[in-house]
Every structure is written in C-alpha cells, then in structure tokens.
C-alpha cells in the first residue's frame, strides 16, 4: 500500500491497510498474496499450461483467450497461460464493469479438473523464483488472504467504495482554481508573484495527478465511461499526458505488483532503481557508468531524473501512444 494513498483517507483506514500489509509482508516477507502469483510471459516454464493455448482460470472454469481481443489491453497476457487462479484479479479489475461477465461467458470454455484446481491453489503458495518449494508457514499465507478479504468487506460496509459526487465536485473546483490563479499570476509583470504562480501551477499538476488516478480506477463517479473521460481530460489538460497510456501501464502494475519483467513500475533503469533486485536482474556491473549514476541517484532525482522523465513522458511516450491508438480527444 502506498503511504501517500493511505494519507488521503482516514487514520482508521490507513491503520487497517498497514496492519494487513505488515502481517503479510513484514512478519512473513516471502509470502505471496494471491494476486502475486507466477503468471504469463516471463514466468517459470513449469507453470505454463500450453505453448499454443492461452487459457485463464476464473471461478473453476478455464476460458480460452488465445484469439480474444481484450478491451482492457495486453494486461490479460499476465493472467493467461499460467494455470494459476485469476479469479481475485478478474473480480477486482472488473468490479464496476457491467459487460465483463458477458464477454467472459461468450468465450470457449471448459471446467477445470480437480488436479488443475489443486495445482492452481498451490501456485499461489510458491516462494519467489522456485517452482515447488512451499512456504515455511502456509497458515500465514491463508491468514493473510483472509485478512485482505475481511478488510475489503469491512471497507464496503463502511462506504469506501461508494462514489461521493460532492467530493468529486470539490476536487474539480480545487484544481481548476489553483490552475486559474497560477496562470493569472504568471501573466503579471512581477517576479515574486510569478514565482507564487509557478508554485500554484505545480501544486495543481500534482493534485491533477491524484485526481486522474481516481478516474483511471473508475472511482470518481462509478461510471466507467464518464470516469475515463474525466481522467483523460484532467491528465491531458492538467498535466499534458495521456490517460489511456497511464491506464495501460498502471493496470499491468496492479496485475503483477513487485514482479520483475511484469510490473512496469520496476522498469525504471537507466535513470533510477528503487530496489537492488532490479539492478541484480539487469546485471549492472560494479564500477560501470550505470552503477556510478545509481550511487548518486538520490541527489540526481529531483534536478535531473524528474526533469528527464517528465519531458520524456510529455513530449514522446504519451503523444506517441495517443497517435498510435488514434485518441483524438487526448491529442486535442
């Protein structure tokens, strides 16, 4: 859980999330939550069901997605062909969709055998990087899963999943006012006021980033089409970036969090590395120019790395994605 994300909500909510997180990742750091299973391309070869057939296991049924054009993009590749149970991920990703189940039932399908179900269950209990070694204490894994399920049910009952339109309106007015004030001050012939205007615009962009994040998760109004448009407008107008590109990358992150070669938020080299596992995987040689850069990455992050990433996203990656996917609304 992101501590900044937790900070947006009540202390009680943050405490619940952190408590569940620590029980699974601090007490037993090698435990895998059931979302974090060996899946898809790049996973262990022994977990593949078949090289030709790409099936995904959902609620005891295998669905053939080999020729299926997923409306949500290539994220489905991370959930197919592994033999692992993708039910929790499927339900979480499509929690507000009214069409997902209709698409799913129209696909070629077959019931999973008892042996396949047992194997799917075991895949969520593997140690990272090993095919058959069980966790030292599987009871902790089961307790972790139950904790997350109970946490989710508690949050639903407390209304955290219900959209608050008054709050959405307030957030939209807030970022609009910050943007308007910042733009006005920048146009004045006063260096001090221009500096204040630049700060206001910077804060507005940051707030736009958080607000579009909610839109990208369809949690602003609860209507997927409306939230998509809100997100694309807020991210495009407020930050100059592509909402569709962000959804594509962010969904991959949520599908396989903290899994090398799958979680795109770990693919940050050569500019920055958030974990030594990334440098070990990329085989960064000690004494190399890359190693020297990473040694001082904390000092380079704000003045250099952030600038290069921002320019790369705004001027290259995001417009490239909008052009390739023909998203005229975002380009406008």
261 or 331, which is more confident: 331
Taking 90 as the threshold, does the pLDDT of residue 197 lie above it? yes
Interatomic CA distance for residues 126 and 233, integer angstroms: 42
Interatomic CA distance for residues 182 and 129, integer angstroms: 50
Q: Number of H helices and number of E strands within the chain? A: 16, 3
Kindly tell me the sign of the dihedral angle through the C-alpha atoms of 70, 75, 77, 83: negative
Tell me whether the omega of the peptide bond preceding residue 270 falls within 30 degrees of 0, making it cis: yes
Give the tokens for residue 114.
């008892």
Contacts of 33 (CB under 8 A, 6+ apart): 24, 144, 145, 148
- How much is the pTM? 0.70
Look at residue 204 in the predicted model and tell me its pLDDT. 95
User: Residue 326: what are its φ and ψ, rounded to 5°?
Assistant: 55, 55
Interatomic CA distance for residues 155 and 139, integer angstroms: 24
Look at residue 141 in the predicted model and tell me its pLDDT. 66
Instruction: Give mean pLDDT, residues 162-188.
Output: 95
Taking 60 as the threshold, does the pLDDT of residue 177 lie above it? yes
Res. 322 pLDDT band, cuts 50 70 90: very high
Q: Would you state the torsion angle of the CA atoms of residues 80, 83, 87, 90, taken in this order, to the nearest 10 degrees?
A: -10
Contacts of 257 (CB under 8 A, 6+ apart): 35, 36, 263
Q: Of the ranges 6-20, 177-191, 279-293, 302-316, which is most confident?
A: 177-191
Share of the chain above pLDDT 90, in %: 40
Instruction: Give mean pLDDT, residues 279-304.
Output: 91
Among 50, 46, 43, 47, which Cα is nearest to 65's?
50
Of the listed ranges 14-28, 60-74, 107-121, 282-296, the one predicted with least confidence: 14-28
Crossing angle (nearest 10°) for helices 224-239 and 165-186: 20
Taking 80 as the threshold, does the pLDDT of residue 142 lie above it? no
Interatomic CA distance for residues 48 and 188, integer angstroms: 63
Interatomic CA distance for residues 231 and 220, integer angstroms: 9
Taking 50 as the threshold, does the pLDDT of residue 127 lie above it? no
Question: Within 10 Å of residue 117's Cβ, how many Cβ atoms?
Answer: 15
Among 69, 81, 112, 76, which Cα is nearest to 94's?
76
pLDDT tens for 217-273 read 998 998 999 999 999 999 999 999 999 999 988 888 887 777 777 788 888 889 999
pLDDT tens for 78-96 read 778 777 788 877 888 888 8
Look at residue 256 in the predicted model and tell me its pLDDT. 74
Look at residue 52 in the predicted model and tell me its pLDDT. 56
User: Residue 40: what are its φ and ψ, rounded to 5°?
Assistant: 65, -165
Taking 90 as the threshold, does the pLDDT of residue 125 lie above it? no
Among 27, 9, 7, 73, which Cα is nearest to 264's?
73
Give the tokens for residue 123.
């895949």
User: Residue 222: what are its φ and ψ, rounded to 5°?
Assistant: 90, -5
Taking 90 as the threshold, does the pLDDT of residue 178 lie above it? yes
Report which secondary-structure segment, H or E, holds 58: strand 55-58
Interatomic CA distance for residues 55 and 138, integer angstroms: 27
Look at residue 21 in the predicted model and tell me its pLDDT. 42
* Size of the chain, expressed as the number of residues it contains: 332
Instruction: Give mean pLDDT, residues 309-314.
Output: 91
Look at residue 184 in the predicted model and tell me its pLDDT. 97
137 or 33, which is more confident: 137
> How does the average pLDDT of the chain come out, rounded?
79
- Reduced to 3 states (helix: H, G, I; strand: E, B; else coil), residue 57 is strand
Look at residue 137 in the predicted model and tell me its pLDDT. 61
Crossing angle (nearest 10°) for helices 224-239 and 243-255: 110
Look at residue 39 in the predicted model and tell me its pLDDT. 33
Among 61, 50, 66, 58, which Cα is nearest to 109's?
61
């Amino acid at each position: 859980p992101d501590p900044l994300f937790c900070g947006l909500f009540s202390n009680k909510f943050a405490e619940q999330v952190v408590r569940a997180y620590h029980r699974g990742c601090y007490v037993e750091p090698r435990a895998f939550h059931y979302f974090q299973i060996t899946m898809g391309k790049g996973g262990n070869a022994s977990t593949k069901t078949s090289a030709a057939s790409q099936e995904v296991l959902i609620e005891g049924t295998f669905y053939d997605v080999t020729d299926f054009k997923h409306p949500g993009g290539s994220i489905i590749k991370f959930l197919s062909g592994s033999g692992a149970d993708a039910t929790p991920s499927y339900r979480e990703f499509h929690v507000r969709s009214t069409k997902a189940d209709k698409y799913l039932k129209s696909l070629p399908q077959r019931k999973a055998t008892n042996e396949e179900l047992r194997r799917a269950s075991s895949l969520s209990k593997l140690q990272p990087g090993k095919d058959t070694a069980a966790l030292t204490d599987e009871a902790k894994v089961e307790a972790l899963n139950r904790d997350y399920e109970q946490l989710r049910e508690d949050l639903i009952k407390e209304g955290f999943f219900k959209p608050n339109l008054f709050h959405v309106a307030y957030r939209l007015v807030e970022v609009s006012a910050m943007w308007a004030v910042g733009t006005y001050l920048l146009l004045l012939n006063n260096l001090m006021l221009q500096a204040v205007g630049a700060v206001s615009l910077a804060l507005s962009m940051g707030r736009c980033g958080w607000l579009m994040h909610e839109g990208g998760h369809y949690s602003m109004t609860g209507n997927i089409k409306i939230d998509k448009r809100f997100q694309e407008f807020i991210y495009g107008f407020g930050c100059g970036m592509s909402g569709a590109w962000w959804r594509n990358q962010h969904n991959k992150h949520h599908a396989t969090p903290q899994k090398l070669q799958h979680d795109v938020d770990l693919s940050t080299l050569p500019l920055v590395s958030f974990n030594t596992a990334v440098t070990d995987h990329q085989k960064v040689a000690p004494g190399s120019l890359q190693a020297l850069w990473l040694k001082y990455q904390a000092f380079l992050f704000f003045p250099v790395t952030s600038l290069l990433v921002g320019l790369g996203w705004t001027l290259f990656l995001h417009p490239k994605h909008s052009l390739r996917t023909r998203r005229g609304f975002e380009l406008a």
